[in-house]
Amino acid sequence: MVTTESRHAAHGTERTALEERLRALAGSVPDPELPVITLEELGVLREVRVLGPGHVEVDLTPTYTGCPAVRTMATDIETVLRDRAGIPEVTVRTVLAPAWSTDDISAEGRRKLAEFGVAPPRPGHRAADRTTGPVPVGLSPTRHAGEAAAGPVRCPHCGSADTELLSRFSSTACKALRRCLTCREPFDHFKEL
């Protein structure tokens, strides 16, 4: 996973104390589609830079190109940095490379998703060449053919691994609708990407 810290190291820079504080504030903004987790936990907040007195630039990577929540995320970041940190000029940039992956979701974010009733994505699905090549697409029956290698999607209600795919899309494009065959409850699954 390419982290903000590794990008800082690659450029030979370190965050200032002010940038750390502003990043913590921006990172505390709840995701508009899944308000149980923050933008930091979701892994979409990439960088916060102080460009000058009263001017901050924030890099945000959407979960997918065209994500309708990006504008709301940007507005919420602008608001929190202006209202809670007194920064009058906040520029939020949408950065598409490196691409976001569900591997960017923190362990705490995954825990919160499961607690909220959304099956978190299974870890370790980032393709080795994700930033340089196309995203592979596969078609399979409702019992996902790749689950043997990837592991089953577990029900967030009862923990059963005996689940089935009902629809590749659910309340948002990032989630699929599944049903547990043990407790019979439907649930969202945050799809791996």
The label of the residue with tokens 């009058």 reads 88
- In this prediction, residues 144-164 reach a mean pLDDT of 80
Residue 178, number of CB atoms within 10 A of its CB: 24
Query: What is each CA distance from 89 to 21, 55, 78, in whole angstroms?
Result: 16, 5, 8
What is the arithmetic mean of pLDDT over 140-156?
A: 65
* pTM: predicted TM-score of the whole model, two decimal places: 0.79
- Please state the rounded mean pLDDT for residues 157-183: 94
Q: What is the separation of C-alpha 124 from the centre of its chain, rounded to a whole number of angstroms?
A: 14
Q: What is the pLDDT of residues 41-67, one digit of tens each?
A: 999 999 999 999 999 999 999 998 888
Highest-pLDDT range among 6-15, 95-104, 141-150: 95-104
Torsion of CA 20, 24, 27, 28, to 10 degrees: -170
